[in-house]
Amino acid sequence: MSRQRTSDLEVAIIGAGFGGLGTAIQLKQHGIEDFLVFEKTAGVGGTWWVNRYPGCACDVPSHLYSFSFAPNPDWTRRYAPRTEIQAYLESLVDRFRLEAHIRVRTGITQATWSEREQRWQLNDASGRKWRARVLVAALGGLSRPAWPDIPGLDDFAGEIVHSQQWNENLKLAGRRVAVIGTGASAVQLVPHVAREAKRLDIYQRTPNWILPRPDRAIGPRRRALYRRQPWLQKLARFGIWAISELRVPAFLWSNRLAAGHRWLAHRHRRRQVRDPELREQLKPDYDIGCKRVLLANDFYPVFDQRHVELVTDGIARIGPDAITDTGGQRRVVDTIILATGFKAVDPVPEGLIAGRGGCDLGKCWHSGPEAYKGTAVAGFPNLFMLLGPNTALGHNSVVMMIESQIRYLLAALDHMRAHGIETLEVRAEAQQRWNDMLARRMEGTVWTAGGCQSWYLHPETGRNSTLWPGFTLGFRQRLSRFDPEHYLATKSA
């Protein structure tokens, strides 16, 4: 009986990170109870559950990197560590009574649109089947780790770990360690690794723009004040958001507007790196913002330690116990840490989501993902994505984008209910126009003309399919109402 009830759903959500949990909360608050959140890991949290490398934290202030409809007055730091963000997300389950709606350790292996039933059919890893009218894919834009294609990587006999698949039993003390990559994850984990390792080689392919991290503790008095006067916390949130939005013109229109940030970054490097040659090697030669700008206070000082070496020659090959660089130097190593990022331009695994005519989302996006408003995809009826194509940000909190998308989803569900609509599918022309608009707005931005290669861009087409080229407010306005004129609708019989 209960199996019968749970196998048919109004809404199925894949993923219990910020996107999935936010959707669950808002569905409930909207009076919709017939939904489940499927999560393949053993707990909620998404990226904050999965990424467990030492030093993992968020580089967006926590008062903004949290839901507007679920504020947390108790953040203990301006930039909360992973554990605190994870605890916040876990607390939402109790706070909004989501327990009965969440299935952890339940990875959806396939979601297929059934023409006959006009429903999504879902299979989970244990073989159970589910059916849902609406599918919400809250998979996260950065959930698939990218393993580098370096000759000999598979021959390495020591321990090898990707930053996103951290092994909590990994022993670093007394080891010779190599970290490959110097991006957002690397700058957070490297200081911790340097403290333990006997020797640390850091392989840098491209230097990054690094700004000081203005982190500080939020004391008990301030926290009590936020609890008593929630409007003050809202004001703080608004201030952080508004200041972050001010970065957009420098990214979109003229990088000259980022002169202040450039100066700050150069001063930070000059102050923290004493050796002039090293300082030069760590100096980026492209426009600030072209790659994600990093915040770190304890990364540069690592290079002052005698057991740490910055390697700027490329990696020629990896052998069973050593890495050889393109200059021919061989460095013996016991452990390799890959801080090499994610498959951002290939976010949906092949075989996971199949739309009309069995069209596989992972395959049909082979030249880079495309959607309408980052949320709907032509050929995939009743599918809504969170943090889909062109919704990532280089300047502000993606939680703002998720909230805009959830609002749009709720408006679509209201529209379906009000008009007896069985299926909604975005028109291909509307999707095309949206992507033409994105392409126009990308022209001349720091991401396409800033002189760097980044994970924002598709490696073959060069198209930016990851970032939203604008203000978060602009995105919010565009998603503020559901626009049925851009959808094909079928009515219930």
240 near ligand NAP, rule: CB under 6 A: no
50 near ligand NAP, rule: CB under 6 A: no
Identity of the residue, 340 or 396, whose beta carbon is nearer to ligand NAP in the bound complex: 340
- Candidates 177-185, 369-377, 405-413, 459-467 — which segment interacts with ligand NAP by CB under 6 A? 177-185
Nearest C-alpha neighbor of 209 from the set 300, 267, 288, 264: 288
Locate the DSSP E strands across 22-107.
Answer: 35-38, 102-103
HSE-up (13 A, CA, CB side) for residue 25: 23
CA 442/CA 435 separation, integer angstroms: 10
Q: How far is CA 488 from CA 133, 389, 423, in A?
A: 16, 21, 8
Task: Name, in order, each residue with C-beta under 8 angstroms of 266's C-beta and a sequence gap of 6 or more.
Answer: 283
| Residues in contact with ligand NAP, shown as a per-residue x/- string from 136 to 165 under the rule CB under 6 A | ------x-----x-x------------x--
Q: Give the residue at shortest CB distance from ligand NAP.
A: 183
Of 137, 184, 282, 385, the one binding ligand NAP (CB under 6 A) is 184
307 touches 172 (CB < 8 A): no
Query: How far out from the chain centre does Cα 79 lie?
Result: 17
Identity of the residue, 57 or 302, whose beta carbon is nearer to ligand NAP in the bound complex: 57
CB of 259 to ligand NAP, least distance (A): 23
Interactions with ligand NAP, residue window 261-320 (CB under 6 A):
292, 315
- Candidates 200-208, 412-420, 423-431, 440-448 — which segment interacts with ligand NAP by CB under 6 A? 200-208
CB of 207 to ligand NAP, least distance (A): 8
Identity of the residue, 315 or 377, whose beta carbon is nearer to ligand NAP in the bound complex: 315
CA 236/CA 407 separation, integer angstroms: 23
- Give the 3-state secondary structure of residue 380: coil
Burial string for 140-170 (b: 16+ CB within 10 Å, else e) reads bbbbebbeeebeebeebebbbebbbebeeeb
212 near ligand NAP, rule: CB under 6 A: no
Identity of the residue, 272 or 396, whose beta carbon is nearer to ligand NAP in the bound complex: 396
| Maximal CA-CA distance, the chain | 74
Identity of the residue, 382 or 397, whose beta carbon is nearer to ligand NAP in the bound complex: 397
CA 303/CA 200 separation, integer angstroms: 10
CB of 284 to ligand NAP, least distance (A): 10
Interactions with ligand NAP, residue window 399-458 (CB under 6 A):
455
Q: Tell me how many residues contact ligand NAP (CB under 6 A).
A: 26
Of 186, 240, 282, 430, the one binding ligand NAP (CB under 6 A) is 186
Of 14, 25, 44, 58, the one binding ligand NAP (CB under 6 A) is 58
Q: Would the CA dihedral through 3, 7, 9, 12 be positive or negative? A: positive
Nearest C-alpha neighbor of 448 from the set 245, 290, 220: 290
- Candidates 52-60, 125-133, 153-161, 422-430 — which segment interacts with ligand NAP by CB under 6 A? 52-60
